[in-house]
Amino acid sequence: MAGVTTGVCLAPPAISASEEGFEVFGIVDASGSPTALTDEMAFRRMERAGVELTTASALISELAVNWASEDGAKLMQILVEEIMGAGH
């Protein structure tokens, strides 16, 4: 899951889904907050609730079971674009 803001748009639904028994991954670099402290507090709340915090590139890597497959190649392209975009 991701949201526009970490503390308001990501944390509450991620915590709720986790409490309902879903395995939830909070994509921390796809959400943001006005301050680092706001992010940190949201991260702590989510972790206490059982939300697995990760990054977009880490999640993409987990989805690519076989980098040599057609799907793996597509995910590699997304990952490369993400990395290249991060430098701009």
List active site positions. Answer: 9
State the first-to-last Cα distance of the chain, in angstroms, to the nearest integer: 24
**Exposed/middle/buried for residue 42 (C-beta within 10 Å: 0-12, 13-18, 19+):** buried
Distance between CA atoms of 10 and 71, rounded to whole angstroms? 28
> Which structure tokens are listed for 23?
């395995």
